[in-house]
Structure 1
Amino acid sequence: MVATNKAVSSQLRGKETLRMFSRSLVALPRTAGVTVSAPMRHYHEIVKRTGTNQVFVQKGPGGRSSNSGHVATVLGCTGFLGRYVVNNLGKRGTQVVIPYRGTDDDRRHLKLMGDLGQIVPMRFDIRQEESIREAVRHSDVVYNLIGKDYNTKNFTFEQVHVEHAAAIARICREEGVTKLIHVSALNANENSKSDFLRTKALGEKAVKAEFPDVTIVRPGTMYGFEDRFWNRLGWFVKWLPGGIPLMNGGKTRIRPTYVGDVAHVLGKLENDERAVGQIVELYGPKEYYYAALVEFFLDVTRRHQVAVYLPKFLGKALAAITNSVLAIPIISPDEIERLYVDDTPTPGALKFDDFNVKPFTVEEQIIRFAGLYRPHEYQRAPYDAVVRKYTTEDVKF
């Protein structure tokens, strides 16, 4: 019995010793293992901007955990294109100032696009010059992505595209910003019947007068998960079972481009000096009739709606009604007007090829967005190779 008690006592002492040893292991500092691992390689590079002789020191392991030496302000960061631009800058190690209005939920997703302290949110009111100054004061690159597709009660096309754009350009010049990148639109024309395209052209002129070295970027019709292109067709498919309205007989020629490709080029413009004072036009590699794209969308989604051809006056009237009823209109009267304008590239403008970017085609990307609007029985159906072509070279009216 005595021997048994001694054995039990010995086991208890052994367990207590093991517990104490385990506690001592837990208490070890977390950095203890770093000394035995291989050191992380870092890069250190000094880059000089040729136009202004400004010097930037790049350092870090690369990617989001590095520091490119640049500070960029992205005005319009919470919009469709803005989130992709912030992501491209963040993964380059650029510190990004993201002025926003609305609630914190509007910019929450942007916080994850850079390392700790690299994404700097701040409240912003475009009507107050001091707010604009505070947003651009510490930046060497400013992106102006602010724009709107339709008039609202608080902002008009003229205010956003002309007056506020000119104010941003003037303040950037006064605050010593060395590079301004202003996003306009393909087909911008002072004589256009579309107020959107007309004010975009007037805005380019006003910005150029205030900041002569501005880089003007004109993207084509952009598509993506948050777009007003495929999602609009999807809305028609779900809520207008009778058919999809087509304007201009569906003969309008457009060159859709993926929003990620546009953002990729905008990110490159941070360091690219060739585009200073130039016009950059970013449109898709293939041209389509609008009717062919609608048919393409219906083929991919396995839907059987038909096209309904509407005259312009009726389309604008119906769009005006939806504007007055819906908080966010599906289509506005001015967007109806734009459906009568063919995409026309400007000779001599810089393109995707000039930045060594090969843009995606609609055939490569459409399943990602149109597939969301398939009926439930076709959700897992494979995306077969497109046998029939849809470009203007293959479709004849």
Structure 2
Amino acid sequence: MSKLVTIYGGAGFVGRYIARRMAKQGWRVRVASRRPNESLFVKSYGAPGQVEPVFCNIRDDASVRAVMLGADAVVNCVGTFQRMGKNNQQAVQAEGAGRIGRIAAEQGVAQLVHLSAIGADVNGPSLYARSKAEGESALLAAYPSAVILRPSVIFGLEDGFFNRFGALAAMFPVLPLPKAQTLMQPVFVDDVAAAAEKAVLGQAAPGVYELGGPEVDTFRGLIGRMLAEVQRRRLVLPMPTFVMKLIAFGADAVETLTLGLVANKLLTRDQLNTLGPDNVVSDGARGLADLGIQPTTLDSILPEYLWRFRPSGQYAAIKASAKNLKKV
């Protein structure tokens, strides 16, 4: 019988790429999600019955244990920026990761892969960084041979980085940026999935891997590259930190006063703090090269999905070509 992998958060941005790769490897894939009815698209990644979305609440032992039953390998891709509600960062990224590690050890799972983030630090400036680090620590305490993947900013078709700023560029003439000089090392989502695939297959030594692409640039520089791709001229305005703190405080206050009914999708104080330190691979850290993976460049991927933010959308190239036609 084919081997089975359970992927927590397998219908999310990174998880779906891992699910697709494992299905191509011939594995049965169990995609654990809070909303399996919204995850039915993963069934198309394999033969009928090979990839199945199932319900799981990562905050509950019985739920986590039920979807892990019989699994040869487990991948945890669950993450959040939520600061309120039951599924907040502490509950999901710290306690949830520890729960998966403990239950994986109890059930004798052969391989455990955990998706964390560059900058995970128990003394980090943000709850996001601290909860990620606490999750790593709890998981490793229960399952010391786990593979921890720490990616930088992840880009790809469904990303929340370039897509977000592309949409803003299509609507507004000015793009205010906090922490504009912060360095980032964007990594392609399928490269992260390839790293997870190797770990599941036992082709990666246990421990931490920091995943970054071949290019390092400032936050402002990356937005400039995005603007060139969407063919829009916009004023990129680096904002003083104190101004952005006031904006983030106000947006957080609205979310708090409405008990989360009005979610802060603008900028949270925690996101602002997360943007502070450079988000690049550390010197001497193991990374994609140690896994035999050639990192994908931004230029080879961004045109595949940012075209929709151009003034002429998919017709931009045709219109540019038409301008070169000679009038008869």
The number of residue pairs the alignment matches comes to 313
Q: Distance in 1 between matches of 2:84 and 2:167?
A: 21
Q: Which of 194-203 and 139-148 deviates more?
A: 194-203
| TM score, norm. by length of structure 2 | 0.89
Aligned ranges 1:72-221 → 2 under 5 Å: 72-102=5-35, 104=37, 106-221=38-153
Q: Which of 360-369 and 83-92 deviates more?
A: 360-369
Corresponding position of 1:301: 230
Q: Which of 85-94 and 267-276 deviates more?
A: 267-276
Structure 1 residue ranges without an equivalent (≥5)? 1-66, 385-397
Between 1 and 2, higher relative CO (CA 8 Å, sep ≥ 6) is seen in 2
Residue 253 (1) aligns with residue 183 (2): yes
Query: 192, 201, 210: which is aligned to 1:262?
Result: 192
Q: Which string of whole-angstrom CA distances, capped at 9 and with x for unpartnered residues, describes residues 353-391 of structure 1?
A: 122211111122221232221002774327x9xxxxxxx
Aligned-residue CA RMSD (Å): 2.2
Question: Is the CA contact 1:216–1:279 (under 8 Å) kept in the aligned structure 2?
Answer: yes
Structure 2 residue ranges without an equivalent (≥5)? 256-260, 321-328
Q: Distance in 1 between matches of 2:166 and 2:94?
A: 32
Question: Is the CA contact 1:147–1:161 (under 8 Å) kept in the aligned structure 2?
Answer: yes
Residue 371 (1) aligns with residue 307 (2): yes
Percent sequence identity is: 29
Residue 311 (1) aligns with residue 247 (2): no
Question: Is the CA contact 2:59–2:95 (under 8 Å) kept in the aligned structure 1?
Answer: no
Q: Distance in 1 between matches of 2:108 and 2:245?
A: 44
Corresponding position of 2:221: 292
Aligned residue for 2:75, secondary structure, equals strand
Question: Is the CA contact 2:111–2:199 (under 8 Å) kept in the aligned structure 1?
Answer: no
Q: Distance in 2 between matches of 1:318 and 1:378?
A: 35
Q: Distance in 2 between matches of 1:85 and 1:113?
A: 10
Q: Which amino acid aligns with 2:61?
A: E
Question: Is the CA contact 1:140–1:178 (under 8 Å) kept in the aligned structure 2?
Answer: yes
Residue 244 (1) aligns with residue 175 (2): yes
Q: 1:373 to 1:322 in 2, by over 3 A?
A: farther
Aligned residue for 1:182, secondary structure, equals strand
Structure with higher Rg: it is 1
Question: Shift in Å at residue 117 of structure 1?
Answer: 2.0
Question: Is the CA contact 1:166–1:206 (under 8 Å) kept in the aligned structure 2?
Answer: yes
Aligned residue for 1:363, secondary structure, equals coil
Question: Shift in Å at residue 312 of structure 1?
Answer: 2.2
Question: Is the CA contact 1:182–1:216 (under 8 Å) kept in the aligned structure 2?
Answer: yes
Moved over 6 A (4+): none
Q: Distance in 1 between matches of 2:183 and 2:67?
A: 39
Question: Shift in Å at residue 333 of structure 1?
Answer: 2.5
Aligned residue for 1:98, secondary structure, equals strand
| TM score, norm. by length of structure 1 | 0.74
Corresponding position of 1:281: 210
Q: Which amino acid aligns with 1:85?
A: I
Question: Is the CA contact 2:198–2:204 (under 8 Å) kept in the aligned structure 1?
Answer: no
Q: Which string of whole-angstrom CA distances, capped at 9 and with x for unpartnered residues, describes residues 30-78 of structure 1?
A: xxxxxxxxxxxxxxxxxxxxxxxxxxxxxxxxxxxxx7x3210000112
Aligned residue for 1:96, secondary structure, equals strand
